[in-house]
Structure 1
Amino acid sequence: MKKIVMGIVAHVDAGKTTLSEALLYRTGARRKLGRVDNGDAFLDPDQLEKRRGITIFAHEAQLHYDDLRITLLDTPGHIDFVAQTEQVLQVLDYAALVVDATNGLTGSTLTLWRLLARYHVPTFIFINKTDSVGADPQAILTAVQKTCSPGCVMFDDPLSEEAVETIASQDEDALTEYLEDDRLTPATIQRLIRERKVFPCYAGAALKLTGVDELLAGLAKWTTPFTPHQEFGARVFKVAHDKGDRLTWLRVTGGRLQAKAEVLDGQKVNQIRDYNGDKFNVVQSVPAGDVCAVTGLNATFPGQGLGVESDQGQAAFQPVLSYAVDPRGNDIHACLTALRQLEDEDPQLAVTWSPHLQEIHVHLMGEVQLEILQQLLADRFQLNIAFDQGQILYQETITGAVEGVGHFEPLRHYAEVHLLLEPGQAGSGLRFTNKCRTDVLDHNWQQQIMTSLGAKEHRGVLVGAPLTDTRITLIGGRGSIKHSVGGDFREATWRAVRQGLMELCAQGKCQLLEPWYHFRLTIPEEEVGRAINDIQQMNGTFHLGTETGGATIITGTAPVATMQDYAQTVRNYSHGQGQLECVVAGYQPCHNAEEVIATHHYDPVADLDNTPDSVFCAHGAGYPVRWDRLPEMAHFPYQKNPK
């Protein structure tokens, strides 16, 4: 039997859970068709999901169709929970992207498309709600082909000649095969789908079960089975807590997972659970390709690789808002304990605790996630707490190159590190490389420096925000056989980064970044002038779209800081007829950087945990040296204008 793991992804209200229920019903996995609005959806078993009518957590279901076994992973639809969806994408063989035939390609849908491309997930497209008034499936297909890929093709059975020609044109080898044989083999089409060159499209209405059988038949015919590693491997995609048990959800990618097996240093799998909805069976082993939840592991996190699998890099979507917790009379430490458990499930919450201020901060994507967090704390921990209005999470980058120097030489210690700091591509984060020769610096010391670079969140010198979009290259340094130890290079490395940033700041080459939204505003025609004026006041850009049914669609970008509360304003002045959809578009230069920097009152020299100064030794004692004197005092040759 062919086995695949498939996820269903979609913009909120596109019908994702409805399609999941239809697939379960049509394959006999459920005797009754569940509905979101009835609160009996099989893949929304959590009480909070039933009350809100949305998917909040990823859930698993098993279904069979002909000779195909599908492990189905449902994902959250609201854009505030895109981080959880991104975690699930890392373990999928295929995805079904649901597109609403009435709303078309929303910003959220396009965001999901980009994520599917990022993780190279072969994708089937289901155009849903084709029975709704105003639905135009052909127009949606045309938009998908234009915006997403020309390889998006309606897969009727049998395939039309026009469809085969379009499929063949997406790949040189396939085109040669088609021109020679006047046909394409199923294996060729399967390959093109697997390589994300072709995307089978289907249309229907999941609520009325139309188009669902055709989608199932297409999955059975055009998917290929998972190819496992020989050695044991697994990837974690979810962490949860259930009745005192900490559950690690993972997909086995190689070998076989056995109960009581040690998969992390000193940590063994205790119990293996095979879930279907909210019910599970305990099994003794799981083969490669399958999904399971295990107990006994206490140091796992989403995106982690086990065995031969390596950890995933930084997620594409990070929270952009920070909220302070108002305990409302609850014990602050009880609040911290509860939030730490929720952070264990979702590390992007980034819970921070200030003992001095007795204050807790959390990082979130938006208002809906904040509301869900409040409800989780009330339901699971009986904590009725509130949050402040939220602050923007800024980032910093650089616009020029510099050589940073760090020197750490208290008595009987010695290390000097030289780093080249250069601007990186937008959205690239931090990249660390090594171009230092071993005849300049011993290999072991180089390894200590490279490890130290990745061991800390480096902060900028404008407001102390995280540094991003920067390439940092090890280019030189000095050590002492007699006095150098590993901690010395860690200190020198961190100081070198900060010293370089201070040099760039003095040159006016440090830049403050803020998060921006892609927005889609649907507004009555008579309110267009008001909306455009508001967008301009918010320092946004805009483009007027096609009018539909007396409404105008305005798309564009704007800073999160100015637009985050605009949805309520739209509802008020449009008397409920306007709708604003916002998707985080990444970070761009801050529109009011001078104002923000002045407000923060950040002193980079006084930040002792991130000092740019160094320590030298003379007359048997160490003494501090200011960052601006490092070029003249460095023991290793310093380049004023590095290339």
Structure 2
Amino acid sequence: MRQAVVGLLAHVDAGKTTLAEAMLAAAGAIRNPGRVDSGSTHLDTDAMERDRGITIFSSSAALDWAGAHLMLVDAPGHVDFSAEAERTLAALDYTILVVGANDGVQGHTETLWDLLARHEVPTFVFVNKCDLENPGREELLAELASRLSPGCVDASALLVGDAGALEDAAATDEAALEEYLETGALAADTLRRLVAGRALFPVFFGAALRDDGVRELLDGMCALLAERPWPDEFAARVFRVSRGARGERLAWLKVTGGTLRAKAQLTGVDRRGEPWAEKINEVRLYQGASSETVAEVGAGRICVVTGLSHVVPGSALGAEPEGVRPLLAPVLSYQVIPEPGADVSALVRALRELADEDPVLGVTWQEQLQEAHVQLMGEVQQDVIAELLRERYGFAVTFGPGGILYKETVTAPAEGVGHFEPLRHYAEARLLVEPLPRGAGVEFGTRCSTDDLDLNWQRLILTNAMERDHLGPLTGAPLTDVRITLLAGRAHAKHTEGGDFRQATYRAVRQALMGARERGECRLLEPWYRFRLTVPADRVGRALTDLTRMAAEFDAPATSGDAATIAGEVPASEVGEYALEVARYTGGRGRISLELAGYRTCHNADEVIAAAAYDPEADLPNTPDSVFCSHGAGHTVKWQDVSAHAHTAVDPARLRPYRPADAAFFSAGLRSTGT
């Protein structure tokens, strides 16, 4: 039986979950489709989802149709949970992007489209709510073609051999065009190839709530699914981590090779580079809220396993390669305020457990302020975190006002050395911090020869470097878009302990950053939003004035009828409550959509740095100074003088080719097995 994991993605209120319910009901997988407004859907299984009428957590169910086994994954549609939606893409063979006929392509629709392209997921489009007032099929197709891709073609016309639709499909691919010109048609295998290769995006129309167009979607999709071979060697990727009804940790994964069996022993490397080995207790298949325990799951299918305590969303198991780095991340940081008398250390532990399920949560403990902070996408996610803390851990919390999450980087290579040598301790590490392109994050690796420093010590240094956020020297914001490379290090045969290298490593990174700061080679970065502002034509002047004041960069307005649309990018710090302002000055006729466009150089860096009043030398948990031993006692050497006292030097002739600190580096060839 042909099979595929098919995701459903959409902007909020496009009717995505309603479509999933209609598909399951049409296939006989459920007796009756549930309703979002009555909280009776089979796929929104969490009480918070039912109360709010939105999908918060990805859920799955399977159906059989026309000789194909489809595993549906309903992903969140609200922008606050778009990071969860992006993680779900790792499990998908195909996706159905749902667009509301009454709303058309929204800003979040374009963000999802970009993510699907980045993760190379073949996509069908379902235009839902066609029973509501809308511009018409031709106009909607034209919008999809202009806003998403020229490969968006009417599926119903395509499948019945309409010449216009076939010509549009053939135009997306040179070989297909030759076939069409020679035969006047396109073979079914050609259409499947074009869909699988993301050249062609069949568009279906209907109204899921009225069961209109749902069977046509299933028929067309199954006709266009390409069979995919899977390798024999075990491989899998984790796309979600959650908790079961009994509090057990659940790892949701897609098997991408071989067979996964219950009681199998798996090995891997955690986020700190530490190897682990654990046994799978149960393998479950979920159908909404209900589950079935099975003995094994073959390649190409999704399942849930218990017993894995070290994996996080994105973890690769077995022969599965490292995946695409997630793009979406929060840009706001909030203080978590517990009730008076609460155990703050227990609260931080609870938040870090939640961060195991949602890696972008970004929990930090600010020692100087004695405050816990989290990184969130927005206010709806705040409510969800507060409810999870109350239900699972008994904490009642509120949140402080959201602050912009700034980041820092370097503009030129900076070498740093850290030394830690109190009495009967010894370690020295020499690291290079280099700039990377925007959005690259932080990478780690080594060029140090094992003849100069044993591989186990190198692994320890890089594990220490990877286990924490390194703070920049301008405002104390997290460091990003850099590569940190081990160049040299030294241990003592008798006195070196593991914690010594932790101290040396932290100080080496910090000393490098202080040198970069002194040379003017540090930069403050801020998040920018991609925006789309629509206002009545007679209010364009006001809109352009506002955007200029907010330091936005934008294209010339595009006018359609009595409305004008302006698209561009704007610093997140300038947006504030501008959506409410737009509604006020347009009498409710204007709207703005915002999506994270990434980090760029801060437009008002001097002002932000001055307001932060951050003194990097006074930040003792992140000190750039080193400790040396003299006359039997340790003493502090200021960061400016550490290089003159250091015991290591870099000999370019002895440096080895760069080796990334990846799973292969830490595990030395150990590999998970699902058998």
User: Structure 1-normalised TM-score?
Assistant: 0.89
SS in 2 for 1:319: coil
Partner of residue 191, structure 1: 193
Q: Give matches, 1:282-297, under 5 Å.
A: 282-297=293-308
AA at the equivalent of 1:315: P
- 2-structure distance, mates of 1:200, 1:222: 9
Change in 2 beyond 3 A, CA 1:512/1:571:
same
Amino acid of the residue matched to residue 566 of structure 2? Answer: I
Matches within 5 A, 1:30-49: 30-49=30-49
Does residue 73 of structure 2 align to residue 66 of structure 1?
no
CA–CA distance in structure 2, aligned partners of residues 75 and 409 of structure 1: 52
Question: What is the distance in 2 between the residues matched to 1:112 and 1:69?
Answer: 25
Cα distance per residue 1:396-425 (max 9 Å; x no partner):
011223333334455565554443333211
* Partner residue, 1:308: 319
- 1:419-450 CA deviation, whole Å, 9 max, x = no partner? 33332111111233444455665555544444
Greater shift, 190-199 or 168-177, is seen at: 168-177
Find out whether 1:553 has 2:556 as its counterpart. Answer: no
Structure-2 residue corresponding to 1:154: 154
Q: 1:188 to 1:401 in 2, by over 3 A?
A: same
Alignment partners' CA distance in 1, 2:396 and 2:559: 44
Aligned to 1:120: 120
The match for 1:203 is: 205
- Aligned mate of 2:360, from 348, 351, 358: 348
Kindly state the Cα deviation for residue 90 of structure 1 after the two structures are TM-superposed: 0.6
Deviation at 1:124, TM superposition (A): 1.4
Do structure 1's residue 19 and structure 2's residue 30 form an aligned pair? Answer: no
**Judging changes above 3 Å, is the alpha-carbon distance between structure 1 residues 54 and 191 closer, same or farther for their aligned structure 2 residues?**
same
Q: Which residue of 1 aligns with 2:262?
A: 259
Change (3 A) 1:484 1:149: farther
Corresponding residue SS for 1:603: coil
Q: What's the secondary structure of 1:501's corresponding residue? A: helix
Give the partner amino acid of 1:217.
Answer: D
Q: Deviation of residue 589 (structure 1)? A: 1.6
Superimposed CA distance per residue, residues 8-55 of structure 1 (whole angstroms, 9 cap, x where no aligned partner): 001112221222122223222234343323333322233322222211
The corresponding residue for 2:574 is: 562
Equivalent residues of 2:119, 2:324 under 8 A apart: no
- Tell me how far apart the structure 2 counterparts of residues 311 and 137 of structure 1 sit (CA, whole Å): 41
CA pair 626-159 structure 1, distance change in 2 beyond 3 A: farther
Q: What secondary structure is seen at the aligned counterpart in 2 of 1:245?
A: coil
Matched AA of 1:623: H
Aligned length: 641
Is the contact made by 1:544 and 1:552 (CA closer than 8 Å) also made in structure 2? Answer: no
CA displacement at 1:552 relative to structure 2: 3.2
Task: Give the AA of the match of 2:336.
Answer: V
CA gap 1:544/1:377 in 2 versus in 1, 3 angstroms: farther
Query: Which letter does structure 2 place at the counterpart of 1:318?
Result: A
CA 424–639 in structure 1, closer or farther in 2 if over 3 Å, else same: farther
Stretch moving more, 227-236 or 2-11: 227-236
After superposition, the Cα gap between the structure-2 partners of 1:27 and 1:101, relative to the gap in structure 1 and judged at 3 Å, is: same
What displacement does 1:234 show?
2.5
For residues 363-402 of structure 1, the aligned pairs below 5 Å read 363-377=375-389, 384-402=396-414
Q: Check 1:356–1:168 CA distance in 2 against 1; reply closer, same or farther (3 A cut).
A: same
Residues 1:423 and 2:425 are matched in the alignment: no
**Amino acid of the structure 1 residue aligned with 2:57:** F
Match of 2:658 in 1: none
Q: How does 1:322-341 map to 2 (within 5 A)?
A: 322-329=333-340, 331-333=342-344, 339-341=351-353
Gaps of 5+ in 2: 268-275, 653-675
CA drift at 1:628: 2.0
Matching residue of 1:275: 286
Q: Does the Cα contact within 8 Å between 1:10 and 1:112 map onto a contact in 2?
A: yes
Letter in 1 for 2:564: T
1:505: how far off? 0.7
Q: Distance in 2 between matches of 1:448 and 1:171?
A: 50
CA distance 1:608–1:385, shift in 2 (3 Å) = closer
Any idea what SS the aligned residue of 1:85 has?
A: helix
The alignment yields a C-alpha RMSD, in angstroms, of: 3.2
Contact 1:93/1:226, CA 8 A, preserved across alignment: no
Q: State how far apart, in whole Å, the 1-side matches of 2:289 and 2:149 are.
A: 37
Q: Which amino acid aligns with 2:231?
A: H
Deviation at 1:579, TM superposition (A): 2.7
Residue of structure 1 in register with 2:57 after alignment: 57
Task: Please name the residue that 1:77 is paired with.
Answer: 77
Q: 1:635 to 1:330 in 2, by over 3 A?
A: closer
| Closer, same or farther: CA 330–41 of 1 in aligned 2, 3 Å | farther
Q: Aligned letter for 1:431?
A: E
> Among 509, 531, 534, which residue is 1:522 paired with?
534
Q: 1:319 to 1:222 in 2, by over 3 A?
A: same
Amino acid in the other structure paired with 2:23: L
Structure 2 partner of 1:9: 9
What is the aligned-residue identity percentage?
Answer: 48
Q: Distance in 2 between matches of 1:455 and 1:238?
A: 21
- 1:510-549, Cα deviation, whole Å (9 max, x unpaired): 1111112112233344544443333333332344544456
Cα distance 1:524–1:632, how it changes in 2: closer, same or farther (>3 A)?
same
Counterpart pick for 1:219 among 215, 218, 221: 221
Partner Cα separation in structure 1 for residue 190 and residue 107 of structure 2: 32
- Tell me how far 1:578 sits from its aligned partner: 3.2
Secondary structure of the 1:56 match is coil
| Residues 62, 71 of structure 2: 8 Å contact kept | yes
Deviation for aligned residue 1:153: 2.9
In 2, Cα distance between the equivalents of 1:299 and 1:632?
42
Q: Secondary structure at the match of 2:159?
A: coil
Cα-to-partner distance string for 1:443-492 (whole Å, 9 max, x where unaligned): 55544444444333222111111111123344455566676666555444
Cα deviation for residue 130 of structure 1 reads: 3.6
Please tell me the residue identity of whatever aligns with 1:520.
R
Q: Does 1:230 align with 2:232?
A: yes
SS at the partner of 2:124?
A: strand
User: C-alpha displacement at 1:213, in angstroms?
Assistant: 2.5
Kept in 1: contact 2:161–2:185 (CA 8 A): no
2:255 counterpart letter in structure 1: V
- Give the Å deviation of 1:244: 2.4
Deviation at 1:218, TM superposition (A): 2.1
Structure 1 gaps, min length 5: none
Check whether the contact 1:245–1:295 (CA below 8 A) recurs between aligned residues.
Answer: no
CA distance 1:549–1:639, change in 2 (3 Å): farther
**Cα drift, residue 625 of structure 1:** 2.5
